[in-house]
Amino acid sequence: MEEKRLDSRGEAGGQQGVGGKFVLWRFLLWAVILTFLFSYIFGSFTSPERVSISYSSFKSEVRSGNVSSVLIQGEQINGEFRQEYGREVMEGDTVAYSHFTTVKPSFEDGELMGLLEGGNVEVTAQSTESSWIVSSLILLLPWILIILYFVYAGSRMQKQMKGFPGGGLFSVGKSRAKRFQKEMTTVSYNEVAGLSNPKKDLSEIVEYLKEPKKFAKLGATIPKGVLLMGPPGTGKTLLAKATAGEAGVPFFSTSGSEFIEMFVGVGASRVRDMFETAKKEAPAIIFIDELDSVGRARGTGLGGSHDEREQTLNQILNEMDGFNPHESVVVIAATNRPDVLDSALTRPGRFDRQIALELPQKTSRAQILQIHASHVPLSPDVNLEKVAQRTVGFSGADLKNLVNEAALLAARVGKKEVGYSDFQEAQDKILLGSQREDKLDDKEKEIVAYHEAGHALVAKLLPDTDPLQKVTIIARGRALGSTEQIPENDRHNFNRRYLLSRISVALGGRVSERLVFDELTSGAAQDLRQVTQVARKMVCQWGMSDKLGPATFSQGEEHQFLGRELMQQKDFSEHTAQLIDEEVQRIILDQEKRTTQLLTQNRKKLDLLAHALLANETLENGEIDKILIQGAS
């Protein structure tokens, strides 16, 4: 979408003018001019070149009749010779001077005036006190330079802030929201793949902005605020722009962090200015991204009641309360941390409509890929449905990045079309990192092969596991190998059998290492972290422990935000905490025992898989099935 910044009169702001280096050159140029002017006033450039002579030589020249005139200023005597005075500067070279300077001794010389009169010397005396003009210039010159510097600095700031409403040196309290004109908001719901439920909820806002009188006749009022909640990259900003595009109204876009400045009161002033401008342009949409940066819960004891953030939040609340019942201005805000927002924001009458945006499901992922791949030449082997199936957990932004990475990889090797292998490589690069250049030695490579073979074999043998897609021992990023499992359908609910099998698959690598090499390595660190998290959630959050029963415990919850208590009080006793630890340990040890028995009984298949990985480095699902059939015979 094309973007312009407008001032308070709706005029397009120009581009930034002279840069900082040009301002500095102008300042230096003026400083040099003033220095030359100042030097000229003192006569440093109009004074002739003079030779410095001793007082005795001066009197000797007067006696000889070679001095025509003198200027006496205190103890300083400047004069002019009747004939040029020569002084040797190098052996054989002399320089002739027509003017001289000397200094009278501190004691009174009574014969000097008689000597000058006798030699027919023109005598001029000048006071040692400088004129008031010169004294004033000496005093004012530093201030003149400082004023010139601030004039140029202010001019540069004015040009930089010209794009903001009311831009200028004193426009710090003006809103910095980007304003999109009606003809500029060209994004529509057709360009927002998936998100069918959020679009339904927002379509009512669109209809109201198009025909507000239709609702006013029935006494209905549209929600003043809409809060979009969801993980990063799920399309909150895009959906807000599409809503403005569908309604065909001006769209003001800003971020919560733009209200916060060092000076107290600036944020509140910017909020007032933004709402006033939006009301003049009504019907209009105000979009505030990252609302949690300014709308976090108050009363934390950090900064007191006069904190700049709290004043800004109070101003937002007051402005939303100040809307007339039928004022056609809708505030849409986005956040990925709705749990930390102040409760005053989410009460009815403010952000009373809350829309949750989830990570896209398989069908939505395919639609998003179709949009982003529409300008990319794809080879016939690319099946976007299959790519969508493999990208479980990807957000819309992740999918856009996937298409771009695939195109970059294809261009790097000189391809004219992007193939399916490029999408696979791009996905591995995004999830695991680029391939490592350093090579593993034979012993480490064998350990990694058995580790990944253990994961793959357990995933194949146990029920209620996600289908195996690929196993590789190619090192990427911090991972020495990987086992990829892809669910046939997006899961919304996890049963206990599936979770226990997931723990067993994660333990397969560690158990395989101990079974084959009778040794444990640090390669299972990430597996153990995943296993512990799943087991603890089963006990503390999902009530899957027979000993603790259907109860939840707040252990493990985190609040990475200063608007919540940093120290969370436990809602269970120390005895219960001990039971939780025992249950988590029991679940993990039971699944480890189960995995050990499974791999011991299928040791031949494990060896075949590991040897095939050492030979080929990567095995697809079909190749793994052939190896397991061979091992069963």
Active site residues: 452
Residues in CB range of 217: below 8 A, 6 or more apart: none
Of 583, 606, 582, which Cα lies nearest the Cα of 595? Answer: 606
- Buried/exposed 245-278: b ≥16 CB within 10 Å, e otherwise: bbbebbbbbbbbebbebeeeebbbbbbbbbbebb
Q: DSSP class of residue 479? A: B
- Which class for 177: exposed (0-12), middle (13-18), buried (19 or more C-beta within 10 A)? buried
One-letter amino acid at 166 equals: G
Query: Is residue 553 within 8 Å of 572, Cβ to Cβ?
Result: yes
Q: According to the 3-state scheme, what is the secondary structure of 200-244?
A: HHHHHHHHHHHCHHHHHCCCCCCCCEEEEECCCCCCHHHHHHHHH
Q: Please tell me the distance from the alpha carbon of residue 503 to that of residue 10, in angstroms, as a whole number.
A: 61
CB atoms within 10 A of CB 306: 9
- Which class for 120: exposed (0-12), middle (13-18), buried (19 or more C-beta within 10 A)? exposed
Q: Can you list the positions of beta strands (E) in 161-312? A: 178-180, 225-229, 251-255, 284-289
Q: Give the three-state DSSP class for 552.
A: coil
Q: Please tell me the distance from the alpha carbon of residue 95 to that of residue 66, in angstroms, as a whole number.
A: 17
